[in-house]
Structure 1
Amino acid sequence: MSTLVGISGEDANSIDALYSPAKEKAANRGAYSSRSPLLLRRARQLFGEAKLKVFLGFFAICVVVFVTSRLSSFMGWNPHYPSSVSSPSRGGYTVLINTWKRNSLLKQSVAHYASCSGTEAIHVVWSESDPPSESLKAYLKNIVFHKSQTAQKPNFKFDINEEDNLNNRFKPIEDLKTDAIFSVDDDVIVPCPTLNFAFTVWQSAPFAMVGFVPRMHWLEKAEHGDTYYKYGGWWSVWSMGTYSMVLSKAAFFHRKYLDLYTHKMPSPIHDYVSRERNCEDIAMSLLVANATGAPPIWVKGKIYEIGSSGISSLKEHSEKRNKCLSDFATLYGTIPLVSTNVKAVDARQEWFW
């Protein structure tokens, strides 16, 4: 901690009393004279005192901006940094896309994530009654090859399931090469620089869920006196400044949670998700919170939803989510979610920190 040391008037006089040849020379040149330099006097005559102060202030700001931009380039801080933020020590990430009868959106999604430099593999969770056509397979493999900017092209594969079940999106993946899984819906696009920044955040906390869609929960008292769990969407997060979940529609998590979800989580929760066709993302949040005892991490970043027919767009969505939380509390025995107000922000994209 720095300490500011002031000089009293008496000390200042004693300092002035000291003889200094350099100071005497400067005084002879007029540097210590009360007279203003010629250029400054001419400027005052031309602009006036008030206008001159404004001009000098504007000039100082320009100098600061210029010097800052030069320093940022010199030190390697590029505000328009390329999408190449991946750590070679842990490799990249596997993009796990959940899709359902929206091939046009799937094509856009695969093409985008194939272009991100951190993508080492793309797996599509397919749960339709009919398997993907050969033409669709060929098209997506071709687009992955051509959109990828890396020498080692991402591996592309369909994970085909025999039944339609939301639990399918968290099944373990054979021959997985990465620890990091980026779970995403087929209608959600996260820009590559934003995605790669979130990956670096996940690398700093690899057993947390790190994502872009925060949600929250709290206990609410009903009219008859009983309490129940309430699910809060984006506006609740915004107004209260806290969250306890990040949804798996756009989130990183460790590959081990696929095994834990499938093989260790109470089977009644699997049955509930399958029956209600909802809340698999809440179930995954509960699983990770129970394993870590820690909150998730929300990464600030713009994401784009290119579809409009998901489950969240249906009526009574919030009521169903409330019911999920309360039912899960009974089935799980507790609600292990941990609330937080921490948000990860890329300082290279912020003017003020």
Structure 2
Amino acid sequence: MRGSLAINRRTVFKLRQIGIATLGSVKIKILLCGCVALTLLAVANRNRDGSSSLWGWTSDVASLDRSSSPRGRYAIVMNTWKRYDLLKKSISHYASCPRLDSIHIIWSEPNSPSDPLKRFLNHVIFLNSRNGRQVELIFDINKEDSLNNRFKEIKDLETDAVFSIDDDVIFPCSSIEFAFTVWQSAPDTMVGYVPRMHWVDETKGKDKYGYGGWWSVWWTGTYSMVLSKAAFFHKKYLKLYTDEMPASIKEYITRNRNCEDIAMSFLVANATGAPPIWVKGKIFEIGSTGISSLGGHSERRTQCLNKFVAEFGRMPLVSTSLKAVDSRNVWFW
């Protein structure tokens, strides 16, 4: 009797162990299936490039106001110079960006834009019109050939946000939309993709500075400028640059054909006392070379820094290590 009872207990105990193991296995399988499902959802979310987020709510880009209000849209101000193929590629791309209100092409060439070029660009704009509304395309014609032209005040500009861009770089519309949302959170500062830095050059004195390119930013993890070849800023800085930038600095920029982007960084930092914001994004260079590829580029930029410090009477640039990253497009952030 006792022997049979012991056997029954052992049998019940084994059955219980088998049940627990089976239940645990089922739980593990359910958990693994859930992980796989979430992974597939994440991949699908990334491929949609700006549609719903992983958990099903509408993404920031899709839910933000797409009206024509100053806060809901932005204007592109594009600098160009005798690179018509690049200009066509750039306009063809940016015309499709959803919250773009207008494109202003800064034209400083001796000859006016040709009729075939105008027809092509206007046709591209027409093809990208949505809901009966199309982006406004404007050529801002300048008599003088100067890099200062890219920061001239634009009268009757309807948007607060200006996206300053060169004609030889392209960013995905989704990346621009993200940078725009970052700028909306800090509309008084510059928000851009190309960081640069400065440092005190103690070998030349405590009031002398050096200019650091991308590798300096990469090495130190800090920056104090974002270049206007790809940056958002408030339209009020165009007026401030036009009316308040010292004439000596403008003349220096025109004469040396360099450093207008550093001057704008000085202007904004001097007005805000705050650093810019670097946004991580994909950059596609469609041009061959630029002034940064020429010998002595860093030395000339260093000269600009010290020239501008002397004119401003101080160093207004503020260093930071902040970087804005769109977490929807990365696995680990």
TM interval, short-chain normalised: 0.7 to 0.9
Alignment partner, residue 75 of structure 2 = 94
CA 1:56–1:325 in structure 2 vs 1: closer, same or farther (change >3 Å)? same
1:170 aligns with 2:136: no
1:63 aligns with 2:34: yes
User: What is the TM-score of this pair, normalised by structure 1?
Assistant: 0.81
1:270 aligns with 2:250: yes
CA contact (8 A) 2:183 2:190 kept: yes
SS of match in other structure, 1:235: helix
Residue-pair matches, total: 311
Q: Distance in 1 between matches of 2:253 and 2:62?
A: 36
Which one has the largest radius of gyration?
Answer: 1
CA 1:83–1:187 in structure 2 vs 1: closer, same or farther (change >3 Å)? farther
Alignment partner, residue 288 of structure 2 = 308
- Greater shift in the superposed pair: 241-250 or 264-273: 264-273
SS of match in other structure, 2:16: coil
User: What is the TM-score of this pair, normalised by structure 2?
Assistant: 0.85
Structure 1 letter corresponding to 2:31: A
Q: 1:112 aligns with which of 81, 84, 93?
A: 93
Shift of residue 87 of structure 1? 5.2
Shift of residue 333 of structure 1? 1.1
Q: Distance in 2 between matches of 1:84 and 1:327?
A: 45
CA contact (8 A) 1:86 1:199 kept: no
Shift of residue 229 of structure 1? 1.0
- Structure 2 unpaired stretches of 5+: 1-10, 43-51
Shift of residue 137 of structure 1? 1.1
Alignment partner, residue 298 of structure 2 = 318
CA 1:67–1:136 in structure 2 vs 1: closer, same or farther (change >3 Å)? closer
CA 1:114–1:288 in structure 2 vs 1: closer, same or farther (change >3 Å)? same
CA contact (8 A) 1:171 1:258 kept: yes
1:145 aligns with 2:116: no
Alignment partner, residue 21 of structure 1 = none
Shift of residue 106 of structure 1? 0.3
Q: Distance in 2 between matches of 1:121 and 1:255?
A: 13
1:337 aligns with 2:308: no
1:328 aligns with 2:308: yes
Q: Distance in 1 between matches of 2:65 and 2:86?
A: 26
What RMSD, in angstroms, separates the aligned Cα atoms of the two structures?
Answer: 2.9
Deviations 1:26-78 (A, max 9, x none): xxxx999983235946x99xxxxxxx8xx986873442242573995553267
Deviations 1:226-262 (A, max 9, x none): 7521111111111101100000000000000000001
